[in-house]
Amino acid sequence: MNEERTPHQIVFSELKCGKRPQQKPKKRWLDMLKQDMREQNINEKEWRKVAANRNEWRRHIQQKTVERQEMQNLEAEERRKKGTKKRKCTVGNVRYADSQEREDPGGSTPTPTQAKPIGVK
């Protein structure tokens, strides 16, 4: 998009002074785009040059998406190896502790007879 066009100027504009009006998004589209690019390890200063060539941009995004998915899978495996804290389960209006230890044979959700309500001895 030509840099002199109005839509381009609006999208890539920066606030020089003033405050964000009430009831408006806290982050602009460009801010969210930059945040997403940081999460995908995409160079924020070079992305417009790469995006000018659609095929190269598509390949670049696909590669970064695969890398991010692999990273998330590794992080999930590490969390599983460490073990997570026991989670509290809510059934109806009553919270039950030790829900992961007490499962019914037919499924994975605890029933009120299998888990003790919190605060009840």
Q: In this predicted structure, what is the pLDDT of residue 96?
A: 56
Is 64 within 8 Å of 41 (Cβ atoms)? yes
Are 45 and 93 in a shared domain? no
Q: In this predicted structure, what is the pLDDT of residue 82?
A: 86
Phi, psi of 49 (to 5 degrees): -70, -45
Q: In this predicted structure, what is the pLDDT of residue 109?
A: 56
Which of 9-18, 57-66, 82-91, 93-102 holds the top average pLDDT?
A: 57-66
Are 78 and 91 in a shared domain? no
The confidence band for 19, taking pLDDT boundaries of 50, 70 and 90, is: low
Are 77 and 110 in a shared domain? no
Is 94 within 8 Å of 117 (Cβ atoms)? yes
Rounded Cα gap, residues 26 and 32, in angstroms? 10
Let me know if residue 2 belongs to a domain: no
Q: In this predicted structure, what is the pLDDT of residue 101?
A: 47
pLDDT tens track for 66-87: 998 999 999 999 989 887 655 5
Range with the lowest mean pLDDT among 13-17, 23-27, 111-115? Answer: 111-115
Are 66 and 94 in a shared domain? no
Q: Which of 81, 110, 79, 82 is nearest to 96 (CA)?
A: 110
Split into its structural domains, the chain has a count of 2
Let me know if residue 6 belongs to a domain: no
- For 90, the domain range is 85-121
pLDDT tens track for 24-83: 667 777 788 888 888 888 887 888 888 888 899 899 889 988 998 999 999 999 989 887
DSSP string covering 32-75, please?
A: HHHHHHHHTT--TTTHHHHHHSHHHHHHHHHHHHHHHHHHHHHH
Let me know if residue 1 belongs to a domain: no
Are 29 and 78 in a shared domain? yes
Q: In this predicted structure, what is the pLDDT of residue 84?
A: 63
In one-letter notation, the amino acid at residue 47 is: W
From residue 68, alpha-carbon distances to 38, 73, 82 in Å are 11, 9, 21
Are 37 and 66 in a shared domain? yes
